[in-house]
Copies of this chain bind each other. A is one copy, B any other.
Amino acid sequence: MVPVNQRTHAWAPPPTALMTDHYELTMLQAALHSGTAHRRSVFEVFARRLPAGRRYGVVAGTGRLLEGLSSFRFGDEQLRFLAGTGVVNDATLGFLADFRFTGSISGYAEGEAYFPHSPLLVVEATFAEACVLETYFLSVLNYDSAVASAASRMVGAAAGRPCIEMGSRRAHEEAAVAAARAAVIGGFDSTSNLEAGLRYGLRTVGTAAHSFTLLHDSEEDAFRAQLQSMGLGTTLLVDTYDVGTAVRRAVELAGPELGGVRLDSGDLVAQAAWVRELLDSLGNHRTRITVTSDLDEYAIASLNAAPVDAFGVGTRVVTGSGAPTSSMVYKLVAREDGSGRLRPVAKAAKGKASVGGRKHALRRRDEHGRATHELVGIGAMPEDDGDDRPLLQEFVRDGELLEGWTGPEGVVRARERHAASVAELPPAACRLSEGEPVLPTVLGPGAGA
């Protein structure tokens, strides 16, 4: 175990403490004033629903938020800003200057499939310590899970052929790094994002852009330059001018060892077929075809019968394929009362009511290991029938970060966990048509009974 507020990797996130809504700190101030700030509290992250029509969601971001927790500190610059703008009073500034998270955090491990009301993160701490983390935790989980959930569907549609994340330019520059990481957790093979390679050890790949061809006096010059510099195993972009001409030229220059060609426009289904035929007719049976151009899970599925070897996915994966955020919320479900007892609390707001009480969760599985229900127990663990799988893992214990969740190792483990988690879902999980969550959530004190 390492202290949670200490850097654990070469790459260190910037200060995260002010990536926080103004009201988190004014609530803290008012709670310090009323003497309730130090009441023991339980906050939970969950989603009331999945994005419309989705069969399952995928948790991602947990490792990142644990990394960012280590730099969740109010330093001089942050405190000066808060003092100068009068956001909070001196008593609150004093509390923030000494802020260390000393509570405990458990939740669904990264990569795990989730369903409505799954308790994705359970934060047990004083109100003061847990309250100030709300915005940052939700930002990380809402975005990363949106990308991983979309990526997982695309990987399912690709039916074993590799998907490559190439969407950096269509997302905020830091979100792009997180998206690459989340896509790989969701089953993507690799990414084009170099920073994600640096921070998380992801494999990075790339081909070439049209500008490279246009820079040269002819397509032949461009192809020759790329082949000489990058080797015959490189992938040439063949649709700058005429695809047929380009493919013939590529084979002339590279011979049978040409690694691949990339198609980035036009009717990909038809084009992949005749480019494959052309390559084969020229003897280039091992030259691979990568397709790009506004792919999403539906476009990938439509290419099911096409001779495509790899899918490069951009915009749609980094924007969650229609669901760019995950609607996860962070709610107080229990807190200490005046007599020191922890009691469940819930709001009644119309359409947004919450369920009080700390949650526990099991994935119910039948005797073949196939998942059948999401059991969420209120205040107690649902009864295990022998084949069930407990879902809550411990990440932080009394302010100490437990090992294995962060850094490159966390990503590798999350990717494996995701594959196993999806594999145990009913086959309907992979349907792209709109439908209900593939597992029903059973929520209650007697959940699983």
Chain A contacts to B: CB under 8 angstroms: 10, 14, 16, 18-27, 29-34, 36, 39, 41, 43, 68, 77-78, 81-82, 85, 87, 89, 127, 131, 134-136, 138-140, 142-144, 166, 168-178, 192-195, 197-198, 204-217, 221-222, 224-226, 228-230, 234, 239-242, 264-266, 293, 315, 318-320, 324-325, 327, 330-332, 335, 337-338, 345-352, 354
Q: How far apart are the CA atoms of A33 and B87 in the complex, in Å?
A: 56
A-B contact pairs, 17 of them (CB 8 A): A18-B195, A18-B198, A19-B173, A20-B194, A22-B194, A26-B234, A27-B209, A31-B212, A138-B169, A143-B172, A171-B325, A173-B174, A239-B349, A265-B349, A266-B350, A318-B325, A319-B325
Residue numbers in B under 8 Å from A226 (CB-CB)? 27, 30
Beta-carbon nearest neighbor of A176 in chain B = B139
Residue in contact with A140 in the complex, picked from B166, B172, B216, B335, CB distance below 8 Å: B172
Beta-carbon nearest neighbor of A351 in chain B = B265
Are A21 and B229 also in contact (CB < 8 A) when A10-B77, A332-B210 are? no
Question: B210 to A349, Cβ gap below 8 A?
Answer: yes
Question: A16 to B173, Cβ gap below 8 A?
Answer: yes
Q: How far apart are the CA atoms of A439 and B16 in the complex, in Å?
A: 42
Number of copies: 2
* CB of A395, distance to nearest CB on chain B (Å): 18
Question: B39 to A264, Cβ gap below 8 A?
Answer: no
Are A87 and B192 also in contact (CB < 8 A) when A68-B173, A241-B348 are? no
